[in-house]
Amino acid sequence: MAGAAPAAKLATVPRDAWRAPARARVERIRDRLQDVYGVPVQPPHEDPLAELVLTVLSQSTNDRNRDVAYLRLREWFPSWEAVRDAPVPDIEEAIRPGGISKVKSQRIHDILVAIEAANRVEGLDLGWMRDVPVQQSRDFLCALPGVGRKTAACVLLFSYGLRDVPVDTHVSRVGMRLHLLRPGAPFDELHDELLALTPPGAELEFHVNILRHGRRTCHSQRPACEACALRRSCPERRV
């Protein structure tokens, strides 16, 4: 918001000095986010490979450019096997609108090749992840080239509604400013912390509403603290 002071950098809290928030405080924040943003409805789409590629394309770009790059990729190639077997420069040209296409094209190629090599069933099918323990699917995904906890969580949550919560830059920023998450913690720890705070069945709702709050109000450089519905709950508020 115009005139707001730039956000101060959060001081890292040492792990041994950190205390997780009380369950009642987490529920109050969830309730307030629901008051503002509602309860998102997004049924699992059951297409983990598409979610995996879409999440790679989302890196360092906006949703519009990501979607354009994804649609071009699907238009240019008739199947994921065709993408896997295509020359990397052809993949790069297809996804160019998504930005840093040279890096992303190589990553998509390498991921598809690695899935084929490591998959428990023939081909690129990942449907088996729906029926095995979440940790097994998470480990499989995180072993793929360039895939970390956030990407794995997106695949598991949005594809099958499994118990994981993605932590991107918006979610981590809001979570740390609210002291839901330990300021300065690495992303693996942030994922573990947020998952532990989230009641079973609320993974999508909590992720999406924190994300919305980060995009609309709790901005990186100039958070709109004076207009924030959570300002009374925020230890880092500027007003």
Q: What is the pLDDT of residues 186-225, one digit of tens each?
A: 999 999 999 999 999 999 999 999 999 999 999 999 999 9
For tokens 């924190």, the residue is 210
Do residues 94 and 72 touch, judged by C-beta distance below 8 A? Answer: yes
**What tokens does 70 get?**
């994804």
CB atoms within 10 A of CB 212: 18
CATH architecture assignment, domain 62-148: Orthogonal Bundle (1.10)
E strands, the chain, are none
Residues 159, 44: contact at Cβ < 8 Å? yes
The domain made up of 19-41+164-233 has a fold known as Endonuclease Iii, domain 2 (1.10.1670)
C-beta of residue 182 within 8 angstroms of C-beta of residue 176: yes
Element (H, E) at 12: none
Q: Which tokens belong to 94?
A: 């297809």
> Strand, helix or coil at 97?
helix
The rounded distance, in Å, linking the Cα atoms of 91 and 95 is 6
For 148, the 3-state DSSP assignment is: coil
Spatial distance between the Cα atoms of 141 and 138, rounded to a whole number of angstroms: 5
| pLDDT of amino acid 97 | 92
| Coil vs helix vs strand at 79 | coil
For the chain, what are the domain ranges? Answer: 19-41+164-233, 62-148
Q: Comparing 19-41+164-233 with 62-148, is the CATH topology the same? A: no
Determine phi and psi for 96, rounding to 5 degrees.
-55, -40
Task: Determine the Cα–Cα distance for residues 230 and 48; give it in Å rounded to an integer.
Answer: 34
Give the pLDDT of the chain (239 residues) as one tens digit per residue.
344 556 668 889 999 999 999 999 999 999 999 999 999 999 999 999 999 999 999 988 899 999 999 999 999 999 999 999 999 999 999 999 999 999 999 999 999 999 988 876 667 989 999 999 999 999 999 999 999 999 999 999 999 999 999 999 999 999 999 999 999 999 999 999 999 999 999 999 999 999 999 999 999 999 999 999 999 999 998 87
Beta carbons of 94 and 77 less than 8 angstroms apart = yes
Q: What is the CA radius of gyration of the chain?
A: 19
